[in-house]
Amino acid sequence: MRYARMTDRLAGLGSDKWVLHVAAQARAAAGHRILNLTIGEPDMPTPAALIDAACTAMREGRTHYSNGRGEESLLRALAARHSQRLGRPVGTDRFLCLPGTQTALYLIFQALCEPGDEVILGDPMYATYEGLVRASGAVPVPVTLRDTAGFRLQAEDVEAAITPSTRVIFINTPHNPTGAILGPAELDALGELARRHDLWIVSDEVYGDLTHDGRPFTSALANPAFEERTIVAASISKSHAAPGFRSGWACGPAAFCARALPLSETMLFGSQPFIADMTARALSAPPDLARAMAARMARRARIVRDALDGVAGMRVPLPEAGMFALIDIRALSRDSTAFALELLERQDVAVMPGASFGAALEGWLRVALNASDEDTATACARIRRFAEVMAA
């Protein structure tokens, strides 16, 4: 039987990247007590007030069809939130509501890219990004994020990768897996490149409320000079500990939203009104939950750094944001997958190999910071023992 070419383009780009997580689950099912630090789940359940808001909306009959753009209450909440963040009015016509950041990014690339177009993005990158780009028929063009530059995408590196086929510069700030935050000057340099070459900027900003130690976050939409070529995707999955509710959005030029709306309607024709009501409530409150979560993540990153930095040649740079810390194991191994699998086998600690996030992170590990302080410290002690044996 024949299949669409998209299935070939996406072969090996789905759950294959999560082999360590799957192996950890299998080992746990076999009776092992696994310290699983693979997935970026929030470290707390969805707040009861948000669940109550969704349940109340369902009981009040908010279970019917929605429209393709989003419920009016949620669009108003998004407009108010972005107007406050950017310091200028942002209208409701600049949003499309979708089930999570992943779906929003899928829609964006389907709307912007043709087969053969090129999308420049940083390497390392979140594990689904290559699939998002290739699903549209476009070609991902990785640009190395150098640890000497704090893993921040540099305009000169992007410019060297631009060709006549380039259509989009795809950024992620704060960045997964490195935790790097792009500053205003770096964003402006990328925006100027995009303007000079008539390119789009697409920015995944799902970790925008999870900066560590009070560090400021700047959206790619901050500079109004570039807002007509910039589209941002985000959700409440991380900031409000609600990943299972699948509630996200795209914010871009009104013209983009009008052009992409029929595609969104073809895909989904509306999200659930009761989830929209819950999301509107979440976005209308101060980000206290995200700030508290970020403080815990920053504390655990320091636990990892203090336990492992300098041990057996390993290095642990502190992240600026997000739910992960990186461990540089290149002094011990250049095969992060083999290292992580053996660590799981010998110490019952599951972490993600850097290779799952791109060639530039081979020889690194990504450690989720959502386990308790005690479990994080225990995992680090086991990693230390394993590394010292390897180095002996």
**Residue 322: which CATH number?**
3.90.1150.10
Q: Indicate whether 300 and 367 sit together in one domain.
A: yes
Q: Indicate whether 166 and 208 sit together in one domain.
A: yes
Q: Indicate whether 327 and 268 sit together in one domain.
A: no
List Cβ neighbours of 12 (8 Å cut-off, separation of 6 or more): none
pLDDT (tens digit, 9 = 90+) per residue, 121-177? 999 999 999 999 999 999 999 999 999 999 999 999 999 999 999 999 999 999 999
d(C-alpha 307, C-alpha 352), whole Å: 18
Q: Indicate whether 144 and 37 sit together in one domain.
A: no
- Residue 12, pLDDT score: 81
Q: Indicate whether 161 and 270 sit together in one domain.
A: yes
pLDDT band at residue 43 using 50, 70 and 90 as cut-offs: very high
pLDDT (tens digit, 9 = 90+) per residue, 246-283? 999 999 999 999 999 999 999 988 889 999 999 999 99
What is the domain count for the chain? 2
Give the residue numbers spanning the domain of 322: 5-45+288-391
pLDDT (tens digit, 9 = 90+) per residue, 165-217? 999 999 999 999 999 999 999 999 999 999 999 999 999 999 999 999 999 99
Classify burial at 15, counting beta carbons within 10 Å of its beta carbon; exposed 0-12, middle 13-18, buried 19 or more: exposed
Domain boundary among 249, 284, 319: 284
Q: Indicate whether 306 and 337 sit together in one domain.
A: yes
Q: Indicate whether 61 and 13 sit together in one domain.
A: no
Radius of gyration of the chain (CA): 21
Percentage of residues of the chain with pLDDT beyond 70: 100
Task: Tell whether the model's pLDDT for residue 14 goes beyond 80.
Answer: no
Q: Indicate whether 171 and 191 sit together in one domain.
A: yes
CATH assignment of the domain containing 210 = 3.40.640.10
pLDDT (tens digit, 9 = 90+) per residue, 110-119? 999 999 999 9
Task: Tell whether the model's pLDDT for residue 378 goes beyond 80.
Answer: yes
Q: Indicate whether 306 and 269 sit together in one domain.
A: no
- Residue 279, pLDDT score: 98
- Residue 369, pLDDT score: 98
Q: 3-class DSSP state for residue 194?
A: helix
Classify burial at 2, counting beta carbons within 10 Å of its beta carbon; exposed 0-12, middle 13-18, buried 19 or more: exposed
Q: Indicate whether 329 and 382 sit together in one domain.
A: yes
pLDDT band at residue 13 using 50, 70 and 90 as cut-offs: confident
Other C-beta atoms within 10 Å of 295: how many? 14
What is the mean predicted confidence (pLDDT) over 317-332? 98
Domain boundary among 239, 256, 284: 284
Percentage of residues of the chain with pLDDT beyond 90: 93
Q: Indicate whether 210 and 294 sit together in one domain.
A: no
d(C-alpha 318, C-alpha 178), whole Å: 9
Residue 234 dihedral angles phi and psi, to the nearest 5°: -160, 180
Other C-beta atoms within 10 Å of 184: how many? 12
pLDDT band at residue 84 using 50, 70 and 90 as cut-offs: very high
**H/E stretch holding 301:** helix 288-308
pLDDT band at residue 326 using 50, 70 and 90 as cut-offs: very high
- Which range (8-22, 80-94, 119-133, 172-186) has the least confidence? 8-22
- Residue 392, pLDDT score: 82
Six-digit token string for 336: 């992060």
Alpha carbon 37 to its chain centroid, in Å, reads 16
Q: Indicate whether 120 and 267 sit together in one domain.
A: yes
Task: Tell whether the model's pLDDT for residue 15 goes beyond 80.
Answer: no
- Residue 20, pLDDT score: 86
Q: Give ∠ CA 102-107-108 in degrees, rounded to 5.
A: 95
Task: Tell whether the model's pLDDT for residue 75 goes beyond 90.
Answer: yes
Against a cut of 0.75, is the pTM above it? yes
Task: Tell whether the model's pLDDT for residue 92 goes beyond 80.
Answer: yes
Task: Tell whether the model's pLDDT for residue 6 goes beyond 80.
Answer: yes
- For the chain, the average pLDDT equals 96
Domain boundary among 265, 284, 303: 284
